[in-house]
Amino acid sequence: MKSGFIAIIGQPNVGKSSLMNRLIGEKISIVTPKPQTTRDAVRGILTTDEYQMVFVDTPGLLTPKTELGKYMSKETDNASRDVDVLVIVLDGTRRFDDRGYEFIEKKLTLGLPTYVVINKTDEAKYEKVYPILQKLSPLTNEGNGRGKIKEIIPTSCVNGTNIDLLRSYIASELKDEVMYYPDGYVTDRSMRFVVGEIIREKSLLLLQDEVPHGIGIVVNAFEEKKESVYVEADIVCEKESHKRIIIGDGGSMIKRIGESARRGIEERTGKRVFLKLFVKVRADWRNKKNYLRDLGYEG
């Protein structure tokens, strides 16, 4: 039985969370088409007879503009420390620039087994992917040496291309001989955290424009019983105008978010869910330490 930690890092929206969910075969991290969906380093655990992989999904790399941004950056920095394997995810539909190259070059100096994933190949045409491969070639040619990319793997989280292959490469790198988590654990996060994330995911999916980035969720009540779960949560936003959008005409939007989140929580817990949502305005909460603490973004 081998085990190890694997950090999944890269630009926002490239599919890091989707990749972790695919590798584990369960939905652990929330996924939306909006960049900066993931705000905390979230561990996802895959345990089989042969190995235990502890993945760390991370917030997309960014230049922080708010205190929340600083927290997210720190989460990513800390997560790629003390791991056994690095998986750097690129979006095959996007141009790969010098900054991306320099980022990988810098990560290679850590001396960790590093795999580069070119994701979204279901959408990326060869003409898009080829220049990425070409650009990366100076970092690959010696194969297994220190400071070189071990493999470049084109993947798709939509149709599952090369997910098994990536998993087997990762398995070959595992060296530890301890079980970090008991069998049956799929994440290090509490169900209370997961519930907050599901509510945030549904809000991000339903809300448009600038509102989604300014929302956070505080779970005020979480009572899990044998067959049911009772949840009370605040959707925190930055402006009265955003609050009106979140509530919607005659409460139509908050109702949609609530229904969608309730279904999500039911799927995840397998229990009947009673969910009450409230909307609160906390001006500029992304820059206020005490609000950030209430929302769980501290440390």
List of residues contacting Mg ion (CB under 5 A): 16-17, 37-38
Beta strands across the sheet bearing 228-237: 216-224, 228-237, 272-281
Which residue is closest to ligand GTP by CB?
60
CB burial of residue 88 (10 Å; 0-12, 13-18, 19+)? buried
Helix (H) or strand (E) holding 223: strand 216-224
* Residue with token string 């990319």: 149
Work out how close the CB of 251 gets to ligand GTP at its nearest, in angstroms, rounded to a whole number: 28
* Least spacing, CB of residue 87 vs ligand GTP, in Å: 12
Q: What angle do CA 55, 143, 53 make, to 5 degrees?
A: 15
> In angstroms, what is the minimal distance from the CB of 250 to ligand GTP?
30
Instruction: Compare residues 14 and 215 and give the one whose CB is closer to ligand GTP.
Output: 14
User: Applying CB under 6 A, which residues contact ligand GTP?
Assistant: 12-18, 31-33, 35-38, 59-60, 119-120, 122-123, 156-158
Pair type for strands 2-10 and 42-47: unpaired
Query: Which does residue 47 touch among ligand GTP, Mg ion, none (CB within 5 to 8 A, set by kind)?
Result: none
Choosing among ligand GTP, Mg ion, none, which partner's interface includes residue 151 (Cβ < 5 to 8 Å by kind)? Answer: none
Nearest to ligand GTP of 126, 278 (CB atom): 126
What does the chain come to in residues?
299
Q: Least CB distance from residue 20 to ligand GTP, whole Å?
A: 8
Residue with tokens 């005659």: 250
Min dist. Cβ of residue 180 to ligand GTP (A): 23
